[in-house]
A = this chain, B = another copy of it.
Amino acid sequence: MRVIVPFAAETPKTRLAEVLEGEERAAFASAMLDDVIAAIRGAGREPEVLSTAPIDVDAAVTVDDRRLTPAVNATIESSDGPLAVVMADLALATAGALRRLFETDGGVVIAPGRGAGTNALVVRAPDFRVDYHGTSFLDHRRGANAVGADVAIVDSYRLATDVDTRADLVEVLVHGDGRAREWLEDAGFELAVERGRVGLRRR
């Protein structure tokens, strides 16, 4: 099974602009990508990064400057056999969680993300196409049905947590154990509890 990791090299993590400057966002995104690559290798697969621009990373990189949906669909079209697509910002992904994804039977296997998103996919139905816009989880389920593929859902908090916002950084500090967490700690981020609720503070 090929395992593709799409990566937006040019405008990484814009929703983190509230807490991180441009170069910091790029460095943090790169740390998350490293963690995802390590987790995929831990699950016994070799990742291929599908990047919008050349990047320096310890994995094979294909550059495709199109948007996420057409770039991933082109990869599906050109692939023989099963293909997995794992988002680059799943900083909590572990080998165990990914193994569960890769080993789940189904024509289309979906690990949903918050907000009706799709954080990771296995595509074994060659006619299936992705559409990451909007309610992609619902759309992918429908799309799989439309091509006669059976759908399986992987119930994983680690795979459901894509790191987009300030609140998501809390999850990395609590549950992460790789470079992304280390990067945040080195940058001075720590948990802050206020009136029983857990937030984020930067030293």
Binding site for B on A (CB under 8 A): 94, 96-97, 112, 114-117, 133-135, 137-138, 155-160, 167, 170-171, 174-175, 191, 193, 196-198
Q: Contact between B135 and A198 (Cβ–Cβ < 8 Å)?
A: yes
Nearest B residue to A194 via CB reads: B134
**Number of chain copies forming the complex:** 2
Closest 7 CB pairs of A and B: A157-B160, A134-B193, A116-B198, A116-B174, A115-B198, A157-B157, A155-B156
Q: Contact between B155 and A116 (Cβ–Cβ < 8 Å)?
A: no
Per DSSP, are chain A's interface residues mostly helix, strand or loop, or mixed?
mixed
Other-chain residue from B116, B174, B197 in contact with A170 (beta carbon distance below 8 A): B116
Output the least CB separation between A25 and chain B (Å).
19
Q: How far is the CA of A174 from the CA of B114 in the complex (A)?
A: 10
Chain B contacts for A117, CB-based, 8 A: 198
Q: How far is the CA of A112 from the CA of B170 in the complex (A)?
A: 13
Given contacts A157-B155, A198-B116, is CB(A135)–CB(B171) below 8 Å?
Answer: no
Output the least CB separation between A6 and chain B (Å).
15
Chain B contacts for A133, CB-based, 8 A: 196
Output the least CB separation between A70 and chain B (Å).
15
Chain B contacts for A156, CB-based, 8 A: 155-157
Q: How far is the CA of A97 from the CA of B157 in the complex (A)?
A: 12
Chain B contacts for A174, CB-based, 8 A: 112, 116, 135, 137-138
Chain B contacts for A167, CB-based, 8 A: 114-115
Output the least CB separation between A200 and chain B (Å).
10
Q: Contact between A97 and B191 (Cβ–Cβ < 8 Å)?
A: no
Other-chain residue from B115, B116, B138, B196 in contact with A134 (beta carbon distance below 8 A): B196
Nearest B residue to A173 via CB reads: B116
